Structure 1
Amino acid sequence: MGDSMKRTKTRYYVVASIAVVLAAVVFLLAPPRVAAMQPLPLTATSIALNPDDPNQQQVGRLRYMGGLVIKSTNDGFGGLSGLRAGPDNRLLAVSDTGNWVTFTTIERDGRLVGVSDGNITPILDGAGMPPADKEAGDAEALEWDPATGDAIVSFEQDHRLQFYRGIDPAKPDTLMQAATQVRRDPATAKWPDNAGGEALARLASGTLALLSEDAMDNYDRHDLLLITGNTTRRLGYVSPKGTRPTDAILLSGPDTILVVNRSYSPLGGVTAVLEILDIGALAKLPDSGVAGSAQKPVARLAKPLTVDNMEGIALRREGGRTFVYLVSDDNFNPMQRTILLKFELLPE
């Protein structure tokens, strides 16, 4: 065998060996699949808003009402990327590995102090089947009406919305149902695989507002789709500088939403920026317009404040007060955490 053939064969074995090692690493790091409904044991540790100054209780228009680092012995727990609140302190979440996650918050004198009664189960498709793999199960946002049980889950990679009826986290069996509808909107066909519908909010009219994490228009704005029945209208959203939208929820009026945006840098770490977006005002701007007065800042969470990869938001209203819950996606990374924060949204 000539020297060139020997070198070629050696390179082949080196490349093949590297490929095998990488495949093994991917396999070992891949989050385990949840096969069926399971109780979810949870532990929670309280955290301060500012570990360097435990007396700090406010950031922007947000008054701190407690926070937790949540862990579980169930390896399927993590990746929380959409959140909504229901009666009796129940929270409903979806994970980017294709699972429903539910639990109850424990609150004392209005402050978040713990969680209990956890459950986890796969999100079933229209045929009643769980996601076949991570790509199929990449759920990134959730909308849910506790009064009717109607729920919608937004997925990226295979960009789609899946619709459900009668969802009730207090009755875990209701989560074990097939989607009643699966919608793939032509407007999402050219969205990047891993930068799809990260934020989903249902407006008062029933219209769905779907925000892309990284599908941008010619004016460097994030795609904001307004979906009404079979009609889709495209607007552009300018997120705060250096950030990308990760979740949203109807705040007030017919179409004013609260948006969570996130950024990351090796030096500054993770930052979460909350702002109010008036979609009605945005819709009146010219195609090339920047939101301007349609957007109002609420708060910016950055070091040394407690913050992580905040991807889910939920609201509760009690006695004329509005409470905001934020949850983080730990990416199943041991260097990150699943944190749940509670705030009161203060008047302007």
Structure 2
Amino acid sequence: MRIADLLLPAALSAGLATQAAAAELVPLGQYTWREDGSAFGGFSGLVMAPGGTSFYAVSDEGELFHATVLRGAANRIERIATDWHSRLIDNNGKPVAGFTADAEALAPARDGGLYVAYESYARITEIHPPDVNPTALHAYQRFRDLWSNESFEGVAERPGGGLIVVSEKPDGSEGAYPTFLGDGHGTAMAWRPGPGIPGADGGFDASDAAFGSDGRFYLLERRVSLGGFATRIRRFGWQDGAFGASETLLETASGALDNMEGMSLWTDAAGRTVISLISDDNFLFLQRTLVAEYEVKEAQ
């Protein structure tokens, strides 16, 4: 049984901190997605289809969901219905489990596939759903030093080609999130340390990343405290493999949203750029799977 509740956009703006910026995020709505079944929940990665009519979401137990999105007035979500879900496959052809299962990020690929980034056994693969057998994008132990529960949280295809992956925790000495850049194809993809993402402060950790159609880099961050989860979205200029000026588009008070871990940028039928976020409920009844959406409204 699926139970949906659509909240007023005003609720989305609770705790919104504003500052001078070239753009603002206009709340479009929230939807609490509920389904039965032990595989449901724990979502950490999201890829919304152009037009917002369907999406892929991946959980930190390695389950990939494909769902249809029914929208109503003002293009707000009225219902989410799962079409299918499947356990991802590891690099040895077996269903992911335990150490190999912790999928944390999804990104669309230009060839129509999806990139998947994992922590625990830190790695990056490509799949072409509904086939969930992976193409490995590096040698087995390439990121051996990062095998932990605090490694990759974001993956994105760079505007000029190649990939960038983002680590969850800031570097203690530089106060920036470490990144890696990948170029090439398959296991021959060459990886190197990338530029640090500046401004990793305020107790936030990285939770997802994406490039917009504007060529800028968007970073989703979250912070946990006794009051709940706070959410921050920043965007950066990107040129010649380096981050430029940044702006904070959203920063909520603790508890205003939930544990927002997945982010996707897409364009609706009216040409608006929309940011969709999805929360990781950690498979706990005290949390929820929340989808929150915003329009990126540029200054006139």
TM range (shorter): 0.7 to 0.9
- 3-state DSSP class of the match of 1:74? coil
Could you tell me how far apart the structure 1 residues matched to 2:44 and 2:50 are? 21
> What's the C-alpha RMSD, in Å, of the aligned pairs?
2.6
Shift of 1:99: 0.8
Task: Within 5 Å, give how 1:114-129 maps onto structure 2.
Answer: 114-129=79-94
Q: Is the 8 A contact 1:125 1:162 kept in 2?
A: no
Classify 1:105/1:69 alpha carbon distance in 2 versus 1 (closer, same or farther; 3 Å): same
Could you tell me how far apart the structure 1 residues matched to 2:78 and 2:46 are? 18
Shift of 1:125: 2.1
- The answer to which structure has the higher helix fraction is 1
Could you tell me how far apart the structure 1 residues matched to 2:55 and 2:166 are? 22
What amino acid maps onto 2:99 in structure 1?
E
Q: 2:29 aligns with which of 55, 61, 66?
A: 66
Classify 1:184/1:140 alpha carbon distance in 2 versus 1 (closer, same or farther; 3 Å): farther
1:316 aligns with 2:266: yes
Could you tell me how far apart the structure 2 residues matched to 1:227 and 1:282 are? 11
Q: Is the 8 A contact 1:44 1:114 kept in 2?
A: yes
Could you tell me how far apart the structure 2 residues matched to 1:259 and 1:237 are? 9
Instruction: State the identity %.
Output: 25
Classify 1:181/1:321 alpha carbon distance in 2 versus 1 (closer, same or farther; 3 Å): same
Q: Is the 8 A contact 1:161 1:183 kept in 2?
A: yes
Could you tell me how far apart the structure 2 residues matched to 1:58 and 1:281 are? 32
Shift of 1:129: 1.7
Q: Which residue of 1 aligns with 2:281?
A: 330
Shift of 1:241: 2.1
Q: 2:78 aligns with which of 113, 124, 146?
A: 113
1:92 aligns with 2:56: yes
Task: Within 5 Å, give how 1:243-262 maps onto structure 2.
Answer: 243-254=204-215, 256-262=216-222
Q: Is the 8 A contact 2:228 2:255 kept in 1?
A: no
Structure number with larger C-alpha Rg: 1
Could you tell me how far apart the structure 2 residues matched to 1:55 and 1:237 are? 26
Pick 1 or 2: higher relative contact order, CA cutoff 8 A, min separation 6.
2
Unaligned runs of 5+ in 2: 19-23, 185-189
What amino acid maps onto 2:275 in structure 1?
V
Could you tell me how far apart the structure 2 residues matched to 1:203 and 1:214 are? 21
Could you tell me how far apart the structure 2 residues matched to 1:200 and 1:277 are? 15
Q: 1:209 aligns with which of 158, 164, 184?
A: 164
Q: Which residue of 1 aligns with 2:106?
A: 142
Q: Which residue of 1 aligns with 2:239?
A: 280
Unaligned runs of 5+ in 1: 1-40, 168-173, 284-290
Structure 1 residue ranges, 4+ long, deviating more than 3 angstroms after superposition: 48-51, 54-60, 184-188
Give the count of matched residue pairs.
285
What amino acid maps onto 1:314 in structure 2?
S
Q: 1:235 aligns with which of 174, 177, 195?
A: 195
Task: Within 5 Å, give how 1:158-307 maps onto structure 2.
Answer: 158-165=121-128, 167=129, 174-175=130-131, 177-184=132-139, 188-191=143-146, 193-214=148-169, 216=171, 218-229=173-184, 230-238=190-198, 239-254=200-215, 256-266=216-226, 268-280=227-239, 283=242, 294-303=245-254, 305=256, 307=257
Q: Is the 8 A contact 1:274 1:297 kept in 2?
A: yes
